[in-house]
């Protein structure tokens, strides 16, 4: 239950005016933080204070605040989306912190995710990877009856589990190599596990991996930090499937 | 006095309702395939409606420019829809049909929607499922590999397709993947982090938009042959809602100010089972599936201001008010009834929790009756979500719930072709007012957004382009320059007020006025007060708000300020609309107009029409003219509902 | 940030130019090297049997003409492993252009072993070079068990492993090799695409026990010589 008085926290937040500007940490105080606040609501309160005192508020990406849009994207005390597993920053609540805590807040850091401002980064590389093959080429209007394709419940559930990726980029942020393997393999697996995805399966993996490399993400060292940091717990099995499909497709390619 | 406007001509085809869309499609003009690439379509918004429209139009060969305010089109708030999508497939063999879905939708909308549109929606519903499956949307399946269906939102048939509790996400990712395919093929040019701040008209037709680049602050002009607006609803006018933080009405409102009529703004849907707010800092309300009411019991203490722990309140001192008032439906009364009753309890001072703005939803009996394991299996993920947010274990404490604004049925007025009162400006999805009437059925929002984008606009937009001479327009045209100048001036003005109140502070005050007086229960006096208060707030905003930073780099405060400025006008219009609609229907409940059983009492003689508002103010002053589009019911005849 | 109209594609690089292809090459060559070190370790165990079998086996190996082919192959595998690992480490390093102020920790963290694979590799490389200088190209003692003089490797080994500093260095290097294998063996399964929820624990256990066996086996030799076999 919420305490009336609340906690005081000292925050060290990465501030950077623009993509080319130099960045540095600035100290901010969060006062009267209650345990029921979400982490972003705590930042809202800090920002309100900053605005009142005529200073620039901290920029951060956020939108749905219910853990599904994938917009929120910060690294809290070294961990993407903070210390809790299977949680996005917007669903992280202040009851996991205590009075007097010092919290370091940084943007997702990766060469492929250039900083836009403060904690906001540009994740359009993910969109380009998706565009390179993360789809089934079916034009509107051409489909047959939905039940004409049978998909076993187990296969469908597994495809769904891969398809739940919210595209937040925490996997890249967590990886020591800033690898996008988990994101890319989740999309590949979603489509590779469904009968509809088979026709373009080989071409898809080759093209998406090529785009992933062109975006300058690092390679996968199989440390598992990505999956541990993933708000929707995408499995490492997806990466193995991508590796397997990639080898097969590359060897067969004409 | 309001009048019927020739501008509000629905252009619905006539004849038997089953054949209207077929007939209409045949009568529409076609664009030569080789000419399609010569036409540029500007699609604003990349949710279900926008992404599906952008993809489908590009597949046909049009040049599409797609704009979104997010860093990626996939973030659009369609992603958060949980429940499912309706389609009249009748896979369950339980008597569903296109006609029944049509019938249920017209009735569910409390007879305030257009029959032709609704019938078309029901017809197209099945094709959406076919196409989504082809795109790889992983809908829930039966063990034999066929698609699974469930019954949703009190429907008598199982026609809802779903992907666990993430149907919106999966459908959006399907549409997004199609759009990204077109992006890589060059058919769609994607412009993320762009906010539309004005509509540009040349010779009375929509020919372009003015957008702000949210990263650099640059004001850009984009010209095209038509504009497709798919920018979602306006629930965020209440500040606290289940909408996303960036959901806004600005693009639609800017079009409204340029001449697009706004229809039925007072029709808002309130969802009864949301997690209540815990303090003044609250930014967002989270919805929990309505299915919880199947097994949970709703109650409040009988005594006012009873501060005991729920477990310490004996059965005899609890008021299971829904079961008491509605003995046959009990906890399963429709959304609006459950919501209003919760509000009444809170207004009586019998609300629970720290804020007193909540009622209990108790599973203790279900856990006893079904066993904890079964409850975990059915509701485990919802309970986990509740615990994550509130820190309370719902297996031991009853959950606290309260209604929250969830969806807006009103929006820019469109005809059967989804075109607004401005030629060339088409409006899709939640941003338009069209198909849900005064209340939307559960699992119908996704259906409408995708029907509009995949299957309606590709035809009707072609007809518009083929039927109208559209001479080439460049962004160097004076109209674009004037619009750019106006937008820049407004941004400058916002930055120069330099008062002492934050944007959120005023937005929260607006939200409070809206929620208290233009929320789930409205009175003439309350609405008049709301209008006065909103006007004061608007005045305050333009003299006392403080927007930090400059119009360069990313500036969220500036973005929010522009949106709240528009909400401050829209809020007033919602109150005006609610005030003149002297009846209760669907999501609009006027306390003066209810049956002795506290049911909504429609007035079909006086209000069987769509209200279309024309903006008649100036840059600084909001004012409106009221027009009407009469509604005719040839197939589904208005009747009164009862849940006693 | 401009529109996403066109996307640069690395079309012609092919498998070996891709991050995944390179990782797979590193994984496959790593498996080859892992097998080699296991066999090498078992051979070293002959020291526990006695000087004669040790020397005779060494002679058998080095006098076989196929040894040149085997050595050439091994060298090639080794070079591929090292060169591609260095190349990919460099790419990985560049993929993050600014460092975090606080390292990840808790369940989301990455272990020291995983973060230092490249350093482990470099240390093993240095060890290997010194190892070849000490032994393969070390002092040529000889011994004659009857058929003629052969190289007395045993004498050299005993001599070298009586230097405490060398023993410490050797042990440290092999512990590092152990860590390298404990990650690498399991990781190579994942890299070539072998992953199944049912067998993941087995693969992990295999990886750790393989590393333990190899490292402990190797370490046995200097410790045995230094503490027990005082010559």
Q: How many CB pairs (< 8 A) connect B and C? A: 17
Q: Is B120 a catalytic residue?
A: no
| Residue C9, pLDDT score | 42
Instruction: Tell me if A217 and C196 make a contact (CB, 8 A cut-off).
Output: no
* Residue B95: other Cβ atoms inside 10 A: 9
Instruction: Tell me if B286 and A66 make a contact (CB, 8 A cut-off).
Output: yes
In chain B, what residues touch A203 (CB-CB under 8 Å)?
Answer: none
* Residue A202: other Cβ atoms inside 10 A: 17
Instruction: Tell me if B389 and A145 make a contact (CB, 8 A cut-off).
Output: no
**C residues 69-88 lying closer than 8 A (beta carbon) to A:** 88
Q: Which CATH superfamily is domain A123-252 in?
A: Alpha-helical ferredoxin (1.10.1060.10)
Q: What is the mean pLDDT of residues B436-457?
A: 96
Higher-confidence position of B376 and B472: B472
Instruction: Tell me if C5 and B191 make a contact (CB, 8 A cut-off).
Output: no
Q: What is the mean pLDDT of residues B50-77?
A: 98
Bridge partner residues of B196 (DSSP): B211
Instruction: Tell me if A111 and C96 make a contact (CB, 8 A cut-off).
Output: yes
In chain C, what residues touch B65 (CB-CB under 8 Å)?
Answer: 3
| Residue B151, pLDDT score | 86
The b-or-e profile of B331-340 (16+ CB within 10 A means b, else e) is bebbbbbbbb
CA distance A66 to B274: 12
Nearest to B164 among A45, A160, A167 (CB): A160
Give the containing element (helix H, strand E) for A228: helix A225-229
Whether the predicted pLDDT of B69 surpasses 70: yes
Query: Is residue A144 within 8 Å of residue A112, measured between CB atoms?
Result: no
Q: Where in chain A is the domain with CATH 1.10.1060.10?
A: 123-252
At C12, the pLDDT band (50, 70, 90 cuts) reads: very low
When scoring A221, A228, A249, A254 by the number of chain C Cβ atoms within 10 A, the one with the most, hence best to mutate, is: A221
| Residue C8, pLDDT score | 40
Whether the predicted pLDDT of C7 surpasses 50: no
Q: What is the mean pLDDT of residues A75-85?
A: 98
| Residue A1, pLDDT score | 40
Q: Name the closest residue on chain B to residue C8, using Cα atoms.
A: B184
Distance of CA B432 to the CA centre of its chain: 9
* Percent of chain A at pLDDT exceeding 90: 96
Whether the predicted pLDDT of B64 surpasses 60: yes
Q: What residue ranges define each of the domains in chain B, with the CATH number in brackets?
A: 272-404 (3.90.700.10), 478-608 (1.20.58.100)
Instruction: Tell me if A146 and B170 make a contact (CB, 8 A cut-off).
Output: no
Distance of CA C114 to the CA centre of its chain: 15
When scoring B48, B73, B134, B163 by the number of chain A Cβ atoms within 10 A, the one with the most, hence best to mutate, is: B134
CA distance B438 to B127: 26
Lowest mean pLDDT among A176-180, B111-115, B325-329, B566-570: B325-329
Contact of A112 with chain C, judged by CB distance below 8 Å, is answered with yes
Residues in chain A: 254
> Count of alpha carbons within 13 Å of B27, Cβ hemisphere only?
11
ipTM metric: 0.97
> Count of alpha carbons within 13 Å of B358, Cβ hemisphere only?
22
* Percent of chain B at pLDDT exceeding 90: 88
Whether the predicted pLDDT of B380 surpasses 90: no
The residue extents of the domains of chain C are 20-91+114-228
pLDDT tens per residue across span A181-197: 999 999 999 999 999 99
Instruction: Tell me if C5 and B192 make a contact (CB, 8 A cut-off).
Output: no
Instruction: Tell me if C114 and A176 make a contact (CB, 8 A cut-off).
Output: yes
Q: Name the closest residue on chain A to residue B132, using Cα atoms.
A: A146
CA distance B137 to A128: 20
pLDDT tens per residue across span B98-129: 999 999 999 999 999 999 999 999 999 999 99
| The residue to which tokens 């988990």 are assigned | A182
Nearest to A219 among C4, C23, C197 (CB): C23
Whether the predicted pLDDT of A3 surpasses 80: no
Bridge partner residues of B300 (DSSP): B319
| Residue B4, pLDDT score | 77
Taking CA atoms, B67 is separated from B471, B485, C3, in Å, by: 23, 21, 10
User: φ and ψ at B128, to 5 degrees?
Assistant: -65, -45
CA distance C51 to C153: 9
| Residue A2, pLDDT score | 40
| Residue C13, pLDDT score | 57
Q: What is the mean pLDDT of residues B39-44?
A: 98
CA distance B249 to B234: 5
pLDDT tens per residue across span C21-51: 999 999 999 999 999 999 999 999 999 999 9
Bridge partner residues of B345 (DSSP): none
Q: Give the per-residue SS3 of B397-458.
A: CCEEEEEEEEEECCEECCCCCCECCCCCEEECHHHECCCCCCCCCCCCHHHHHHHHHHHHHH
In terms of phi and psi (left: phi > 0; alpha: psi -120 to 50; beta: otherwise), the region of B187 is alpha
Bridge partner residues of B432 (DSSP): B412
Nearest to A127 among B72, B163, B283 (CB): B72
Task: Using DSSP, state whether B74 is helix, strand or coil.
Answer: helix
Whether the predicted pLDDT of B245 surpasses 90: yes
CA distance B364 to B310: 11
At B291, the pLDDT band (50, 70, 90 cuts) reads: confident
CA distance C99 to C135: 42
Residue A146 Cα, gap to closest chain C Cα (Å)? 31
CA distance C217 to C45: 7
CA distance C72 to C51: 28
At B196, the pLDDT band (50, 70, 90 cuts) reads: very high
CA distance B238 to B507: 8
Going by C-alpha positions, the residue among B429, B600, B434 that lies closest to residue B520 is B600
CA distance B579 to B583: 9
In chain B, what residues touch A74 (CB-CB under 8 Å)?
Answer: none
Query: Is residue B475 within 8 Å of residue B206, measured between CB atoms?
Result: no
pLDDT tens per residue across span C98-124: 999 999 999 999 999 999 999 999 999
Whether the predicted pLDDT of A115 surpasses 50: yes
| Residue B643, pLDDT score | 67
CATH number of A7-117: 3.10.20.30
Whether the predicted pLDDT of B8 surpasses 90: yes
Q: Could you tell me which residues come within 8 angstroms of residue C69 by beta carbon, excluding any fewer than 6 positions away?
A: none
| Residue A111, pLDDT score | 97
- Residue B198 is given by DSSP the state E
Q: What is the mean pLDDT of residues C47-72?
A: 95
């Amino acid at each position: 239950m919420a305490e009336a008085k609340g906690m005081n926290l000292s925050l060290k937040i990465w501030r950077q005016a623009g993509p080319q500007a130099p960045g540095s940490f600035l100290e901010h105080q969060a006062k009267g933080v209650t345990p029921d606040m979400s982490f972003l609501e705590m930042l809202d309160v800090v920002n309100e204070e900053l605005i009142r005192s005529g200073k620039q508020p901290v920029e951060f990406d956020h939108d749905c605040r219910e853990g599904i849009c994938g917009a929120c994207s910060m690294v809290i005390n070294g961990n993407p989306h903070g210390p809790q597993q299977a949680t996005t920053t917007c669903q992280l609540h202040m009851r996991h912190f205590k009075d007097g805590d010092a919290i370091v807040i940084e943007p997702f850091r990766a060469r492929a995710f250039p900083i836009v401002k403060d904690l906001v980064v540009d994740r359009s590389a993910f969109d380009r990877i998706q565009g390179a093959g993360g789809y089934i080429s079916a034009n509107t209007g051409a489909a047959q009856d939905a039940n004409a394709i049978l998909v076993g419940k187990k296969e469908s559930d597994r495809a769904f589990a891969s398809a739940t990726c919210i595209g937040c980029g925490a996997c890249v942020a967590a990886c020591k190599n800033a690898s996008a393997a988990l994101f890319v393999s989740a999309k590949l697996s979603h489509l590779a596990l469904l009968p509809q995805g088979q026709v373009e399966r080989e071409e898809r993996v080759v093209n998406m991996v090529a785009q992933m490399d062109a975006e300058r993400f690092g390679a996968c060292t199989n440390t598992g930090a990505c999956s541990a940091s993933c708000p929707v717990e995408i499995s490492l099995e997806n990466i193995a499937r991508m590796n397997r499909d990639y080898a097969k497709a590359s060897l067969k390619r004409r | 006095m309001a009048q019927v406007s020739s501008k509000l001509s629905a252009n619905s085809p006539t004849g038997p309702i089953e054949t209207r869309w077929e007939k209409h499609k045949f009568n529409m003009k076609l664009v030569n395939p080789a000419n399609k690439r010569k036409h540029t379509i500007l699609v604003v918004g990349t949710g279900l409606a926008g992404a599906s429209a952008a993809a489908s139009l590009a597949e046909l060969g049009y040049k599409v420019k797609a704009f979104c305010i997010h860093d990626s089109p996939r973030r659009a708030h369609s992603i958060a829809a949980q429940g499912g999508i309706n389609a009249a497939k009748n896979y369950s063999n339980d008597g569903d049909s296109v006609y029944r879905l049509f019938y249920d939708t017209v009735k569910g909308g409390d007879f305030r929607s257009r029959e032709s549109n609704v019938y078309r929606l029901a017809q197209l519903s099945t094709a959406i499922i076919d196409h989504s499956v082809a795109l790889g949307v992983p809908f829930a399946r039966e063990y034999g590999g066929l698609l699974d269906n469930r019954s949703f939102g009190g429907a008598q048939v199982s026609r809802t397709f779903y992907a666990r509790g993430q149907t919106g996400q999966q459908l959006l990712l399907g549409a997004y993947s199609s759009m990204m395919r077109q992006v890589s093929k060059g058919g769609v040019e994607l412009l993320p982090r762009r906010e539309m701040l004005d509509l540009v008209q040349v010779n009375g037709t929509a020919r372009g938009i003015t957008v702000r680049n949210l990263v650099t602050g640059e004001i850009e002009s984009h010209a095209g042959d038509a504009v497709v607006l798919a920018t979602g609803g306006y629930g965020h006018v209440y500040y606290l809602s289940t909408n996303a933080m960036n959901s806004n009405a600005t693009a639609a409102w800017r079009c409204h100010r340029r001449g697009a009529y706004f229809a039925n703004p007072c029709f808002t849907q309130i969802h009864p089972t949301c997690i209540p707010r815990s303090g003044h800092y609250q930014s967002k309300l989270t919805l929990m599936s309505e299915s919880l009411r199947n097994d949970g019991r709703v109650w409040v203490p009988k005594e006012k201001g009873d501060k005991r722990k729920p477990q310490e309140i004996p059965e005899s001192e609890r008021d299971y008010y829904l079961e008491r008032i509605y003995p046959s439906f009990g906890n399963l009364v429709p959304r609006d009834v459950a919501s209003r009753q919760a509000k009444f309890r809170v207004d009586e001072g019998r609300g629970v929790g720290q804020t007193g703005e909540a009622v209990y939803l108790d599973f203790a009996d279900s856990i006893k009756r079904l066993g904890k394991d079964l409850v975990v299996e059915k509701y485990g993920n919802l309970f986990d979500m509740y615990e994550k947010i509130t820190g309370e274990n719902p297996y031991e404490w009853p959950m606290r719930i309260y209604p929250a604004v969830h969806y807006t049925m009103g929006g820019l007025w469109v005809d059967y072709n989804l075109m607004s009162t401005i030629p060339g400006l088409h409006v899709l999805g939640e941003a338009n007012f069209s198909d849900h009437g005064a209340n939307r059925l559960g699992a119908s929002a996704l259906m409408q957004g995708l029907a509009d984008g995949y299957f309606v606009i590709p035809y009707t937009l072609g007809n518009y382009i083929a039927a109208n001479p559209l001479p080439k327009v460049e962004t160097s045209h004076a109209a674009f320059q004037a619009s750019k100048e106006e937008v820049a001036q407004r941004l400058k003005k916002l930055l120069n007020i330099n008062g002492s109140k934050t944007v959120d502070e005023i937005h929260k005050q607006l939200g409070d006025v809206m929620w208290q007086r233009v929320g789930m229960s409205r009175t003439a006096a309350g609405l008049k007060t709301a209008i006065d208060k909103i006007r004061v707030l608007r005045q305050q905003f333009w003299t006392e708000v403080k927007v930090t930073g400059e119009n360069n780099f990313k500036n969220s405060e500036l973005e929010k300020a522009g949106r709240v400025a528009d909400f401050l006008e829209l809020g007033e219009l919602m109150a005006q609309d609610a005030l003149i609609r002297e009846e209760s229907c669907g999501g609009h409940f006027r306390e003066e107009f209810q049956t002795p059983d506290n049911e909504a009492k429609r007035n079909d003689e006086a209000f069987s029409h769509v209200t279309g508002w024309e903006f008649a103010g100036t840059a600084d002053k909001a004012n409106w003219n009221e027009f009407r589009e009469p509604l005719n019911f040839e197939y589904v005849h208005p009747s009164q509902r009862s849940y006693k | 940030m401009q529109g996403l109209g066109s996307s640069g594609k690395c079309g012609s690089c092919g498998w070996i130019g891709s991050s995944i292809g390179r990782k797979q090459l590193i994984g496959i060559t790593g498996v080859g090297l892992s097998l080699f070190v296991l066999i090498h370790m078992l051979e070293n165990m002959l020291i526990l049997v006695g000087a004669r079998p040790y020397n005779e086996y060494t002679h058998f190996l080095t006098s076989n003409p196929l040894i040149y082919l085997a050595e050439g192959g091994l060298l090639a595998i080794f070079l591929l492993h090292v060169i591609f690992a260095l190349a990919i480490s460099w790419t990985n390093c560049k993929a993050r252009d600014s460092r975090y102020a606080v390292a990840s920790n808790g369940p989301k963290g990455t272990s020291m072993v995983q973060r230092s694979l490249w350093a482990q590799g470099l240390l093993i490389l240095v060890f290997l070079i010194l190892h070849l200088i000490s032994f393969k190209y070390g002092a040529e003692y000889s011994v004659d068990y009857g058929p003629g003089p052969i190289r007395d490797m045993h004498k050299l080994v005993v001599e070298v492993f009586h230097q405490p500093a060398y023993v410490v260095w050797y042990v440290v290097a092999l512990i590092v090799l152990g860590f390298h294998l404990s990650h690498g063996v399991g990781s190579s399964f994942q890299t070539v695409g072998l992953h199944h929820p049912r067998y993941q624990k087995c693969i992990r256990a295999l990886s750790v026990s393989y590393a333990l066996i190899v490292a402990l086996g190797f370490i046995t030799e200097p410790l045995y010589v230094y503490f027990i076999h005082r010559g």
